[in-house]
Amino acid sequence: MTSSVQVRPAEPGDRSAIHAIHVAAFGQEAEAELVERLERDGDLILSLVACTERPVGHIAFSRLNVVEMPSIRACALAPLAVDPHAQKQGIGAALVADSLRRLSQSGWDLALVLGDPAYYGRFGFAPEAARAFETPYDGPYLQALPLSDRGKEARGPIAYAPAFAELS
Ligand SMILES: CC(C)(COP(=O)(O)OP(=O)(O)OC[C@H]1O[C@@H](n2cnc3c(N)ncnc32)[C@H](O)[C@@H]1OP(=O)(O)O)[C@@H](O)C(=O)NCCC(=O)NCCS
């Protein structure tokens, strides 16, 4: 990663920059709107920006409900985006690594992500670990990463935040 990138918690003043990053990276509004709905609903548990002179990357995590094991603190990584002009410089990796460190330190047990295993595997996410769960996204792209011993024991149905039901 370029040494001039700083990863920090998102602030209210970052909202329009975060929206623009997701639209530029995904080429559509859906992911930007997902972030906004998660925030409005109070389901966003971690939101970080990566900044050079301005925010160029954003990562969001939202609450998950492990239905039969409600004491498990589980979250979903989504969405992650880096401005196309700033990609392939390690900024996405810095956002994921910093987030996972913060989540572990604050007692989260489990993270799930839906994405390419070739990208997320480098952070420890694995499709095999996700097979213990039943979610609307089951399949080869769903990956899990236990963040604690309790997270390793988690299993069963998982409910995503309501905002995900609006994603097409
Ligand atoms: C995915 C994304 C966040 C990566 O950000 P980044 O800052 O470019 O990532 P890094 O620099 O840390 O890593 C780049 C590496 O990831 C790889 N990569 C990027 N997107 C990938 C994908 N979808 N699947 C597999 N590998 C991917 C690159 O080829 C590159 O590989 P290399 O390290 O072997 O050269 C960015 O490409 C992006 O915003 N993409 C559009 C939105 C998106 O698809 N988000 C993820 C949804 S799950």
Q: Which residue has the tokens 């810095």?
A: 94
What does the pLDDT read at residue 166? 85
Alpha carbon distance 16, 19 (integer Å): 5
Contacts of 123 (CB under 8 A, 6+ apart): 93, 96, 97, 100, 145
What does the pLDDT read at residue 2? 55
Given the CA of residue 118, which atom of ligand 1 is nearest to it?
25
Q: Give residue 110's Cα distance to chain centre.
A: 12
In tens, the pLDDT along 138-151 reads 999 999 999 999 99
What does the pLDDT read at residue 24? 98
Closest Cα to atom 21 of ligand 1: 119
What does the pLDDT read at residue 5? 95
- Burial (CB < 10 A; 0-12, 13-18, 19+), residue 83, is buried
Q: Which residue has the tokens 């080429």?
A: 27
Closest Cα to atom 35 of ligand 1: 88
Domain 6-166 belongs to what architecture? 3-Layer(aba) Sandwich (3.40)
What spacing in Å lies between the alpha carbon of 88 and ligand 1's midpoint?
7
What does the pLDDT read at residue 58? 99
- Intervals of the chain under pLDDT 70: 1-3, 168
Q: Where along the chain do its domains lie?
A: 6-166
What spacing in Å lies between the alpha carbon of 87 and ligand 1's midpoint?
7
What does the pLDDT read at residue 84? 98
Q: Which residue has the tokens 């996405």?
A: 92
